[in-house]
Amino acid sequence: MAERRWVINASPLILLGKVNLLDLLPRITSNLLIPPAVVEEVQGGLKDDPARNWLSRATPFFMTTAPALHPTVAAWNLGKGETEVISYAVRSMEYTVIIDDIAARNCAMSMGVSTQGTLGVLLLLKKDGLLERVMPFVEDLQSRGMRIDSSLVAKIGMLAGEDVG
C-alpha cells in the first residue's frame, strides 16, 4: 500500500457508502482521519445509511478531538465538517483532504493542501488493484444523484483506461 494520509469529509464517505466501497478505504490509506464534525454529519443521516453504519464499526479511524480551526479556513464560511477537515490538513501538511465540495477544494488548494475527490479515490482503488473497473461505480454514483459533468466522466474513463458508456 502506498503511504497515503487522508482526512476525509462527509460527502465522500456517504457516496462511497452508497456504492459499498467504504471497507476498502483502510486498504488504500495508511492513515485515515475523520473529524468529529464529519462524524456528526454522517451520523445525522438515515438509520440505514451505509456510511452511518460503517462509522459505527470504524472507530479506530476517528479523531478524538476537533482540530483547532485555522482562521483563514474559518473565514471561507464553509460547513463545519469542511472547515475541520481543511484545518487539520493545514496544520499537518502531510495529509490530503478527501473532499468533493468545490468551494472547500478551492479553499484547501489556496492553503497549499493536497486534495482528492470521490472520483479520484475510485481511480486509486483501481490503481491499487482493488477494483477491476471504475466506470460502473461512476455510473452507479450518477444514478444515485451525484452530479458529474460529462467532460469529467470522460476524463475519468480515459484515466481509468475504460470506455465511457
> Three-state DSSP class for 159?
helix
The whole-number pLDDT of residue 57 equals 81
The whole-number pLDDT of residue 67 equals 79
**pLDDT tens string 12-22:** 999 999 999 99
**pLDDT tens string 91-118:** 888 999 999 999 999 999 999 999 999 9
State the average pLDDT for the chain.
Answer: 91
C-alpha cell read off for 75: 473565514
The whole-number pLDDT of residue 154 equals 94
Alpha helices in the chain (DSSP H): 10-18, 25-28, 36-43, 50-57, 71-74, 80-91, 102-110, 118-127, 135-143, 150-160
Cβ atoms 108, 78 nearer than 8 A:
no
* Model pTM score: 0.93
pLDDT score of 142 more than 80: yes
**pLDDT tens string 47-82:** 899 999 998 887 666 666 777 899 999 999 999 999
The whole-number pLDDT of residue 66 equals 77
The whole-number pLDDT of residue 9 equals 96
The whole-number pLDDT of residue 165 equals 65
**Which domains can be identified in the chain, with CATH numbers?**
5-128 (3.40.50.1010)
pLDDT score of 125 more than 70: yes
